[in-house]
Structure 1
Amino acid sequence: MTKVAIITGASSGIGRVSAVALSKKGWSVVLFARRSDKLLETKELCQDPEQCFIVQGDVSNETDVLKLFQETLERFGRLDLLFNNAGSGAPPLSIEDMPLAVFQHVVNVNLIGTFLCTREAVKIFKLQSLQGGRIINNGSISAYTPRPNSAPYTATKHAVLGLTKSTALDGRKFNITCTQIDIGNAHTDMAARLSVGALQPDGRIVPEQTFDVSHVGDAVAYLADLPHEVTVLTFNIMATGMPFVGRG
C-alpha cells in the first residue's frame, strides 16, 4: 500500500526537497502552498509526478486547510504523514518597533497554521481503518535559542515545540507520533543571507556556515519511514560550524 504524505509550504526550500525525497521512496505526496506555479515546479521534480497532488491555499486560512484534508482523502483515501513545514519570518526589528500586524502574521502562519493542520490530521489518523500516523513539525534552532531582533519567529517556534510535545502525548494511545525537526542554517533562499553575514548578539556581522538543504529532505524521509512504534521527539540537523553550541 502506497503511503500518503501532506507537505505544507511545498513550493520551495525545505518543503520542496522533502517532497522530492519522499517521492523517491515511493510515497504519494500532497503539495500545499499559496503559489500554484511553484507547486507545479515541485511536482515536476518528484520521482513520479503522477503520484503528486497539488492543493493551493494558505495554511493560516481554516477554509483552505479543511479543503486540503478533504481533497487528500478524496484522492488517496488515507493519510500517513503530515509535515507542518510552512513558516514565515519577520523583518529584524526590536520589540518596541514591532507592529502588531507583523507579529500576528507570523503567529498565524507558524503556530495557527500548524495547529489547524495538526487538528485535521489527528481526526483522520484516529478514524482511518489502520489507526495512526506521523506528524513532523518544522521547528528551528530558534525554538531553543533566539537570534537578535527575532521575537515573533522565536516566540512561535517555542510554541510549536509545546504543541509538538502535546501532540506526541495525546496521540500516544492512538498510534500517532509527533516529531519536531530543528534545522539550523540549511541553505535555502530564506537562509542564504546568513552565509553573507548575520547579526550576532555582540553586534558583529559574521558570515555563518550553511549546509545543503537536500540533507533535510533525506532526514524527513528517514523519520517518515520509521514505524509508529518509534517516536523521535526532537531531531536537530544543522551546519557543523554555525554559532549555536557554546553560544558562538
Structure 2
Amino acid sequence: MKSILITGASSGIGRATAELFLAEGWRVGLLARRTDLLEEVAADRPGAVVLAADVTDPAAVDGAFAEFIAVAGRLDVLFNNAGIFTPPATIDETPLDDWYRSVNVNLNGMFLAARAAFAVMRQQRPQGGRIINNGSIAAHVPRPGSMPYAATKHAITGMTKCLSLDGRPFDIACGQIDIGNARTPLVEDMADKLQAADPAAPPLETMAVEDAAASVLHMANLPLAANVQFMTVMATKMPYIGRG
C-alpha cells in the first residue's frame, strides 16, 4: 500500500485530498491540530492514521512522522499543505502578529514538514519519495493587501527548487502545485465578504476543490523518474492571465 502524509488535512484542500487518496487505497497520515476534525475524515476509513500535531512545533512534527512510519512502514509522498490567511491590510496596517503567524505556519511549518519527510525518504529502503508543496496563485500574483500570505508563498517556490536539487542524489522528487480559487470554506467566506463589500462586483470565479485534489493525485502517482515541477490549477475564468 502506497503512503502519503498530508498536513492541514482537517479541512479545505487538505481534507479533500485526504479523502481522495483514501478512496484510491493509499495509507494516509492526517496531520493537523484538531483531533476531532481529523477523526471525522478518518471515520470508517481503515487506511487513515490520525496525527494530531502543530506544524510549527518541531518536536510534534518529528513525532507525527515517526508515528506514521511506525504504522505505514515507509513514506512515499508528503503533501505539504498546511497554511493560513490573515485579514487583508496594507503593510503599514498589518499587525506584526499576523506577519509572524503567517511566517510560522506557511513557511516554518512547511520547512519542518519537508525536513522530516526528507530525512525519512533519504534513510528508508528503497530510498526516495516525493514532496509536493502547496504554493498558491499568490506565489506568482498576489491579491491587494496580502503581504504576509504572498511573501510566504513566494518563499515556498524557493524551497521547492532547493528541495528538487538537494533531493536528486537520494531519489527524492519535489514539485509545487499552485491552486487558484478552489471552493473551500475559506474561499467561500472570502467570496461572501467581497460580494458584501461591493455588491455590483462580479462573483468570484471558483472551481471544485475535488479538482485540486485530483491534480495532487496525478503528481503523486508519477514514477520517481518523472516529476511535475510546477503545476497551476485554477478556476478557468479567474483573472490570473493578463489584466483580468
TM bin (shorter chain): over 0.9
| C-alpha distance in structure 2 between counterparts of 1:110 and 1:205, whole Å | 30
Q: How does 1:157-196 map to 2 (within 5 A)?
A: 157-196=153-192
Normalised to the residue count of structure 2, the TM-score between the two structures is: 0.95
Q: Is the 8 A contact 1:66 1:120 kept in 2?
A: yes
Q: Is the 8 A contact 1:197 1:207 kept in 2?
A: no
| C-alpha distance in structure 2 between counterparts of 1:74 and 1:42, whole Å | 21
Match of 1:67 in 2: 63
Equivalent of 2:81 in 81, 85, 89: 85
Match of 2:212 in 1: 216
Cα 1:182–1:71 shift into 2, 3 Å: same
Match of 2:129 in 1: 133
Q: Higher mean Cα deviation, 95-104 or 143-152?
A: 95-104
| C-alpha distance in structure 2 between counterparts of 1:79 and 1:170, whole Å | 18
Match of 1:23 in 2: 22
Q: Does 1:144 align with 2:143?
A: no
Match of 2:10 in 1: 11
SS of the residue aligned with 2:29? strand
| C-alpha distance in structure 1 between counterparts of 2:145 and 2:208, whole Å | 26
Q: Does 1:153 align with 2:149?
A: yes
SS of the residue aligned with 1:49? coil
Q: For residues 122-176 of structure 1, what are the alpha-carbon distances to aligned partners after superposition, in whole Å with 9 as ceiling and x for unaligned?
A: 1111111111000011110000011000000000000001000110111012111
Q: How big is the shift at 1:49?
A: 1.2
Count of aligned pairs: 240
Q: For residues 43-87 of structure 1, what are the alpha-carbon distances to aligned partners after superposition, in whole Å with 9 as ceiling and x for unaligned?
A: 12xxx6111100101111111101111101111221100001100
Could you say what the CA RMSD is over the residues aligned between the two structures, in angstroms? Answer: 1.4
Match of 1:42 in 2: 41
Q: Does 1:117 align with 2:86?
A: no
The one-letter amino acid paired with 1:31 is: L
Equivalent of 2:225 in 201, 223, 229: 229
Cα 1:209–1:194 shift into 2, 3 Å: farther
Q: For residues 200-247 of structure 1, what are the alpha-carbon distances to aligned partners after superposition, in whole Å with 9 as ceiling and x for unaligned?
A: xxxx95422101101111111111110000011111100001011113
Q: How big is the shift at 1:7?
A: 0.3
Match of 1:100 in 2: 96
| C-alpha distance in structure 1 between counterparts of 2:72 and 2:192, whole Å | 43
| C-alpha distance in structure 1 between counterparts of 2:191 and 2:51, whole Å | 33
